[in-house]
Structure 1
Amino acid sequence: MSEAPLFTRTDPALGEFSLRPVDPPADAELLHCWVTHPKAVFWLMQDCDPAAVEKEFTRIAADPFHDAFLGLHNGSPAFLMERYDPAHRELVGIHTARPGDVGMHFLTAPTATPLHGFTLAVLTTVMEMLFVDPATRRVVVEPDARNTAVHALNKAVGFELRRTVSLPSKDACLSTCTRDQFLAAQGDHR
């Protein structure tokens, strides 16, 4: 049985969004469909089978510096979010992490019936969840430099591009968003 949501918010136009920890054995088949879909090319898991997806999310679940969460929209699985400590994962030696920095990745599920504003609502939910923790002072992301759609979304919620960095698997746009930047961007959307 899946765990209860750790965080829930209601979007006035789109309904309820919530997040719970990924359950690798129970969620592997679903996540396999998402991370191997052509729109998830930047997750670099295109050739994974369900067992490899389960193994990867089991590894994340055991890592004290990395977490994965399944996002629900009105109770149905709809997105994936990963949270990591950039002082210990992803950006070690590339980004000088400050106290309160939290790294994040997110992916919306493929759908045949897209909802206007859905991905922005997902990213807003993710950011709100991260900033609920008073220790979180800044969110750090490193999306692939070619992923222009996510760069526009990141900017919409307050991320500021710091620089392009070379990671082992990609050239990435290192960007950060403080709590104040996020709140200011939310004012722009109301």
Structure 2
Amino acid sequence: MSTFSHRDDRLGAFTLRPLDADADAPLLHRWVTHPKAAFWLMGDADVAGVAEAYRLIAAHPHHAAYLGSWRGRPAFLAERYDPARVELVGLYDPEPGDVGMHFLCAPTDTPAHGFTHAVLTTIMAWLFADPATRRVVVEPDVRNTAVHALNAAVGFTVVGEIRKPEKDALLSVCTRERFRKAIEGDQRA
């Protein structure tokens, strides 16, 4: 059962559904422990540890995780959180309507051109489908230059660097209007 569906003009259908921490843990374990997921900070986790981490997220009133699919197959992970209560407490000035987000694409041996951009666009469209969402807030590792470029491509602006217990992060925000303008101006070849 899908919570949200989005269609990319080139890559087709993307969907999101609530994550099932126990049933999805073996799949997520392969994703979060892959070397390409180093910034996810779960490289040493076992399947039980992954399940426990996502059970804690599911039980949290201000944090939720979703499994994303492409063409009917699991392909990415998305988290939505209240940054004034989770992740960024005391590290930035929250505004009404702020929603925090994390995402992770599944590792693959056969990458599709534009896939990660389509995933991020899907997640942003999902978050902004909620009329209460005014800004999306992210805090990727400062060294994760690939995600910084993707964030900029969908309308994020950098607020500045912040220090979190687990990393130095690049705090960035995206308003509904900046997202709309970035997507309407998307001229990818």
Tell me, yes or no, whether TM beats 0.5.
Answer: yes
Give the CA deviation at 1:132: 0.2
Alignment of 1:127 onto 2:124: yes
Partner of 1:102: 99
1:85-100 to 2 correspondences below 5 Å: 85-100=82-97
Partner of 2:113: 116
Give the CA deviation at 1:95: 1.1
Give the CA deviation at 1:142: 0.1
Partner of 2:36: 39
User: Take 1:13 and 1:91, find their aligned partners in 2: how far apart are those partners?
Assistant: 35
Give the CA deviation at 1:12: 1.4
Question: Residue by residue, what CA displacement relative to the aligned partner does 1:129-162 show, whole Å, maximum 9, x if unpaired?
Answer: 0000000000000000000000000000000000
**Amino acid of the structure 2 residue aligned with 1:48:** A
Give the CA deviation at 1:113: 0.2
Q: Counterpart of 1:189 in 2: which secondary structure?
A: coil
1:1-190 to 2 correspondences below 5 Å: 4-190=1-187
Q: Which runs of 5+ in 2 are unaligned?
A: none
User: Take 1:168 and 1:46, find their aligned partners in 2: how far apart are those partners?
Assistant: 17
User: Take 1:14 and 1:85, find their aligned partners in 2: how far apart are those partners?
Assistant: 30
Give the CA deviation at 1:99: 0.6
Identity score, percent: 61
Question: Residue by residue, what CA displacement relative to the aligned partner does 1:56-87 show, whole Å, maximum 9, x if unpaired?
Answer: 00000000000000000011000000000001
**Equivalences, count:** 187
User: Take 1:34 and 1:83, find their aligned partners in 2: how far apart are those partners?
Assistant: 18
Give the CA deviation at 1:96: 1.4
Cα root mean square deviation, aligned: 0.5
Give the CA deviation at 1:13: 0.7
User: Take 1:12 and 1:96, find their aligned partners in 2: how far apart are those partners?
Assistant: 36
Q: Which runs of 5+ in 1 are unaligned?
A: none
**Amino acid of the structure 2 residue aligned with 1:111:** T
User: Take 1:54 and 1:187, find their aligned partners in 2: how far apart are those partners?
Assistant: 38
User: Take 1:107 and 1:85, find their aligned partners in 2: how far apart are those partners?
Assistant: 18
Q: Counterpart of 2:185 in 1: which secondary structure?
A: helix
**Amino acid of the structure 2 residue aligned with 1:7:** F
User: Take 2:27 and 2:108, find their aligned partners in 1: how far apart are those partners?
Assistant: 13
